[in-house]
Amino acid sequence: MSYTSTPVDMQELGEKIQQSSAFIEDIYTELNKVIVGQRYMIDRLLVGLLADGHVLLEGVPGLAKTLTVSSLATVINTKFQRLQFTPDLLPADLIGTLIYNQKEAEFTVKKGPIFSNIILADEINRSPAKVQSALLEAMQELQVTIGETTYPLDEPFLVLATQNPVEQEGTYPLPEAQVDRFMMKINIDYPTESEELEIMRRMAKTGKKEELKPVITTEKVLKARKVVDQIYIDEKVEQYIIDLVFATRNPEKYGLDDLSELINFGASPRASINLNLAARAHAFMEHRAYVTPEDVRTIAMDVLRHRIIPTFEAEAEEVTSEDLIDRVMSSVQVP
């Protein structure tokens, strides 16, 4: 679909965006009752939810990843499952299995926890490849096969997976091709000093914690996704996305000759698609009917950081994928 070839009534679309995106502030207000700071993580989870994209979260334990995801599920009033990935987990523990009923002399299906709306895959890199593949297939196909029958997954279906960057012993790192299926990879950092003081004051109590209430429904989320699809993106902004992605594959074309020795593999075509989707979701959250280059720049690091593979030379020089993306973004001309 070409966004410039279709006449767009920007005023009408703008009014629709204002109405349909009003719930974003309601979500922030409700989540702030139990979560201090972490606005960046909440923003990116909402982008994933609106753009129908899965998110990989990386951060040390204790940064409220699980609390944030479970709280988000509560305020959306949707089904939530937390799956603790362990080395002895089996694919059947995730997707379900066939159980033989002796009385009826037939097999019955027992569906697994993946039949939910929001899945928190905790420490995904602690499980073997077969379990990771079962989850990632469900993410890609939005369906699960048990026996000879295929079952569609409910919408919205969002996988939020966590990785611990510190403990690497006993882990099974996700292959690059599988990591590429996540729309975004976000790095969760420690709270600021003032935020941690507030966290301590709130949480260092043995009494009953604040309870959240739902502010929107899954139906409203699905309607919002349809509105996100209508957000206008100009050809110049589309070309800017393509330039950013292609600069990671052919850096010399963009005056980045020295990066050729530092980038082993550039971003895949999924990067272009996801950058477009995520930028539109970000514009929606800003209550705008159009995408600006700043929307693209705001979200680009999270969409690209896990899709660029540095060379051994880059690793030897301690150059990270983030460093490479910074170079690309500072060199590619902004429209």
Say how far apart CA 81 and CA 116 lie, in whole Å: 7
Kindly report the number of other CB atoms within 10 A of residue 42's CB atom.
18
Q: What pLDDT does residue 276 have?
A: 95
For 76, how many CA atoms within 13 A lie in the half-sphere containing its CB? Answer: 26
Q: What pLDDT does residue 4 have?
A: 43
The residue ranges of the chain whose pLDDT is under 50 are: 1-7
Angle at 70 between CA 120 and CA 176, to 5 degrees: 25
Say how far apart CA 285 and CA 47 lie, in whole Å: 8
Q: Please tell me whether residue 159 adopts helix, strand or coil conformation.
A: strand
| Domain range list for the chain | 22-218, 231-331
Q: Please tell me whether residue 303 adopts helix, strand or coil conformation.
A: helix
CATH code for 231-331? 1.10.8.80
Q: Determine the residue type at 54.
A: H
Q: 244-285 pLDDT, tens per residue?
A: 999 999 988 888 888 888 888 889 899 999 999 999 999 999
The pTM of this model reads 0.86
Residue at token pair 């009923």: 101
Say how far apart CA 44 and CA 298 lie, in whole Å: 10
SS3 content of the chain, % helix, strand, coil (to 5): 50, 15, 35
Say if CB 13 and CB 230 are below 8 A apart: yes
Q: What pLDDT does residue 3 have?
A: 41
Dihedral Cα 74, 124, 112, 134, nearest 10 deg: 130
Q: Please tell me whether residue 185 adopts helix, strand or coil conformation.
A: strand
* Phi, psi (degrees; rounded to nearest 5) at 98: -95, 130
Give me the CATH topology for the region 22-218.
Rossmann fold (3.40.50)
> Is the sign of the CA dihedral 247, 249, 255, 258 positive or negative?
positive
